[in-house]
Amino acid sequence: MSETVAAAQEAAHHKEFTIIVNAEQKTVDSAEVSYDEVVHLVYPTPPSPDTLFTVTYRNAKNPKEGSLVAGQSVEVKKAGTIFNVKPTGKS
């Protein structure tokens, strides 16, 4: 099998999901997206170690809308799930 055919087959098996985070398009490799993953997409380095984040979403697969806290995740659609991430300070 040629490298081109092998690469095409691998690409066909690789699933990507397009989400919108704070109005920017991002690509993730899984239908299950966690609070930590979404926060890291916006803030690879948090503003401060004590910063907490409010994460809300809409247009997801299940449940369709809501909020996430640390340790939670949501099933996103192939394209179009929207997240908003805001730093909220200390609790």
CATH number for 41: 3.10.20
Span 3-22, pLDDT tens digits: 554 444 444 445 899 999 99
pTM to 2 decimal places: 0.80
pLDDT for 16 equals 92
17-21/79-89 β-pairing: parallel
Instruction: List the domain range (segments joined by +) for residue 19.
Output: 3-89
| Strands (DSSP E) found in the chain | 17-21, 24-28, 32-34, 52-58, 66-68, 73-75, 79-89
Total domain count for the chain? Answer: 1
Position 72 confidence tier, pLDDT thresholds 50, 70, 90: very high
Span 19-46, pLDDT tens digits: 999 999 999 999 999 999 999 999 998 8
